[in-house]
A = this chain, B = another copy of it.
Amino acid sequence: MTKYVLASGSPRRKDLLEQIGISFEIMVADGEEIITKTLPSDIVEELSCMKATEVANRYMTEYTVNRPTVIIGADTIVALGTEIMGKPKDEADAVRMLKALQGNTHQVYTGVTLIVLGLGDRQVVSFHEKTDVVMYPMTEAEILAYVNTKDPLDKAGSYGIQGRCAAHIKGIVGDYNNVVGLPVGRLYQELAAKGLI
């Protein structure tokens, strides 16, 4: 029976993994995030791999691996044209991002890295999913009211599609859960294809 370890402290990723019926432990990666890539799809795979690798190494020093163990790392960013948006620095930064996103279409990228321990050699698989998100126009009052809820402050691109901001989302093309922070459809399929579920 496979063991799963989520290398993320995000409550939203925890909820999504639970939603598809996977039991897992959490071991949070807290190392520095160093970006050497420029394409959004490369950046999220690099960062997810960094998180999964840090946790896999720590796991190996703390536990005896006596059954297949999958370490799951993930990273999410928002891209609008050439700008890449992570979490906002402060409320003013959140207002700036939302002003840029409103009325436009942007892309959300989540990279996922699976590191499989306990089956001989360490196996590493990285992939990403891209979702287009179309936002309705927002008034300045709507942006300020939303930032005042504090919901944007811990989220890439300064909004949570699963929160109050749903009122301002016209539609998406791609996986919704990828925007929330973990593409659990693709993740499940990758695990199933490797006989790990």
| A contact set with B: CB distance below 8 Å | 16, 19-21, 131, 136, 161-164, 166-177, 184-186, 188-189
**Top 5 A-B pairs ranked by shortest CB distance?**
A167-B188, A20-B167, A176-B176, A171-B174, A169-B185
Interchain CA distance A132-B75 in the complex, whole Å: 27
Once the chains bind, are A19 and B163 in contact (CB under 8 Å)?
Answer: yes
> With A172-B174, A175-B170, A176-B176 as given contacts, are A189 and B136 in contact (CB-CB < 8 Å)?
yes
Min CB–CB distance A132 → chain B (angstroms): 9
User: Which chain B residue lies CB-closest to A149?
Assistant: B21
Min CB–CB distance A36 → chain B (angstroms): 29
Instruction: Determine the chain B residues whose CB is within 8 A of the CB of A189 once the complex forms.
Output: 136, 167
Once the chains bind, are B173 and A185 in contact (CB under 8 Å)?
Answer: no
User: Which chain B residue lies CB-closest to A174?
Assistant: B171
Once the chains bind, are A176 and B185 in contact (CB under 8 Å)?
Answer: no
Once the chains bind, are A166 and B136 in contact (CB under 8 Å)?
Answer: no
Interchain CA distance A148-B171 in the complex, whole Å: 32
Instruction: Determine the chain B residues whose CB is within 8 A of the CB of A173 once the complex forms.
Output: 171-173
Of the candidates A16, A136, A177, A185, the one having the most CB atoms from chain B within 10 angstroms of its own CB is A185
Interchain CA distance A20-B21 in the complex, whole Å: 27
Among the listed B21, B166, B168, which residue makes an inter-chain contact with A19, where contact means beta carbons less than 8 Å apart?
A: B166
Interchain CA distance A171-B129 in the complex, whole Å: 10
Extra 14 A-B pairs, beta carbons < 8 Å, given A166-B177, A167-B189, A169-B175: A131-B171, A136-B185, A161-B176, A166-B185, A167-B184, A168-B188, A169-B185, A170-B175, A170-B185, A171-B185, A172-B172, A172-B173, A172-B174, A172-B175
Once the chains bind, are A185 and B172 in contact (CB under 8 Å)?
Answer: no
